[in-house]
Amino acid sequence: MKEFFSLAGGKRRTQSFLWLFALAWAGGAIAYVPFLTIWLPLRILALPGSDSVRTLGLITFCGAIAASLANITFGWLSDRTRTRRPWIATGLALTALLLLMIGRAHDASTILALVIYWQVALNMMLGPLSAWAADRVPRNKTGLLGGLMALSPALGALSGIIVTIPGFANAQQRLWLIAAMMCACVIPALIFVRRVSPATPVPQAEFIRPARRFAITMWIARFLVQIAEAALFAYLLLYFRSLDPAIDESRVARLFGAVLLLAVPLAIVIGSLADRSSRPARPLALCASCSALGLIALLASTTIGQAMAAYVLFGLATTIFLSVHSGQTLRVLPDPRHRGRDLGFFNLTNTAPSLIMPWLTIAVVPARGYATLFAILAALAAISGAMLLWLNRLD
């Protein structure tokens, strides 16, 4: 009887952690989505006498490098200290503080420096946070965890809508709102997740060390899909306007939001099915293949309606893929002692495509058009799907 109640209590703790972690992870998206996609471009445009395109590109490039290095570093430090919570809490506080400081900067060089510090602080929070999930979530729940992580882009998009409500907040107040929403999402996990004593086995103690090739295959497969996702995120509006010059950004924003919201329940269902499958990489392979089909449909589109329908297929498949993949990554970490560091290297699949994608687009689109770009991206997604089909098992 005692063992029964202990098992039931362990399941309840796992369930509560899954939801608290998903909310905290969404807090990270709330921190960067409205800030990087809305607030920062508008602030750079408002600077007197600055080359806004070049300045924003430099900030994005330097910020991506800082984020990559910081995620690995703080993941590794949380491994060495064998604790995650203090790093997450410190990163949260510094991220909020630096957001407010950026709002008071009045020149491009100061904004650049503060954004780099902000990226370091944000990844001081996100690196150990992702490793915290690897510590606490059992392998038979990693798919569900990935599905719940689809809340992150959806709530990130929703936060962008909230802070841009006309007349609701000025530029500085928007940063206060972003900081407040981020803290409201992350703090519950810091408060309510129970500490696990050394004598209490953590669910991940059942970890079975997989072959290192699994981790490499999963890394490459995500990297290829992320390149396609980054390109579509940055250039979709321009492509739509090449088909219909009258389309406005609000219509495209609503399309983005609808796709992200619809992806949440689908990702939870698919992630849960992956947990019960003997081959949990198969749903990922299917999503990558659907991403490729969506890109092929995009290159074949001749009307704005066809292009939007094709993007819905691509957007749903890609969002589900990236979310469920984040959970399944926990199955293939080579060494439980270095989860934070290794997840930092996996995080490069999120940041590196932003450094590659602009050069790919500049090299292809002016000379050969969007159809060629979409064909290249479809090939990358198809290769990802084929690699994951080859990866028969993840445990």
Blockwise average pLDDT, block size 10, the chain, 395 residues: 44 84 94 87 77 76 92 95 95 96 90 95 96 88 90 89 84 92 96 65 44 82 93 80 80 84 93 82 92 94 92 95 90 80 90 81 83 93 92 58
Half-sphere exposure of 207 (CA within 13 A, CB side): 23
Task: Tell which CATH classification among 2.60.40.10, 1.10.3210.10, 1.20.1250.20, 3.40.50.620 matches the domain 2-192.
Answer: 1.20.1250.20
- Tell me the C-alpha distance between 79 and 337, whole Å: 7
Residue range 257-274, pLDDT digits in tens:
889 899 999 999 999 988
185 in Cβ contact with 23 (< 8 Å):
yes
Which are the contacts of 129, defined by CB distance < 8 A and separation ≥ 6? 21, 24, 25, 28, 84, 88, 186
User: Tell me, what's the pLDDT at 140?
Assistant: 82
Residue range 75-93, pLDDT digits in tens:
999 999 999 999 999 999 9
- Tell me the C-alpha distance between 280 and 297, whole Å: 27
- Tell me the C-alpha distance between 143 and 135, whole Å: 15
Tell me the whole-structure pTM to 2 decimals. 0.84
Give the Cα-Cα-Cα angle 118, 120, 122 (nearest 5 degrees).
Answer: 65
Residue range 15-45, pLDDT digits in tens:
889 999 999 999 999 999 889 888 888 888 7
Residues of 144-167 as b/e, b for ≥16 C-beta within 10 angstroms? Answer: bbbbbbbbbbbbbbbbbebbeeee
Examine domains 2-192 and 207-390 and report if their fold is the same.
yes
Which are the contacts of 192, defined by CB distance < 8 A and separation ≥ 6? 16, 20
User: Tell me, what's the pLDDT at 5?
Assistant: 36
- Tell me the C-alpha distance between 133 and 323, whole Å: 14
Name the DSSP class of 10: H
Encode 232-266 in three state secondary structure. Answer: HHHHHHHHHHHHCCCCCHHHHHHHHHHHHHHHHHH
> Residue 168: phi, psi to the nearest 5?
-80, -40
Identify residue 382 by its one-letter amino acid code: A
Distance in Å from the first CA to the final CA of the chain: 31
Q: Which ranges of 329-369 would DSSP assign to H, the alpha helix? A: 339-368
DSSP string, 190-216: HHHSPPPPTTSPPGGGG--PPPHHHHH
As a CATH number, domain 207-390 is 1.20.1250.20
Q: Where are the domains of the chain?
A: 2-192, 207-390
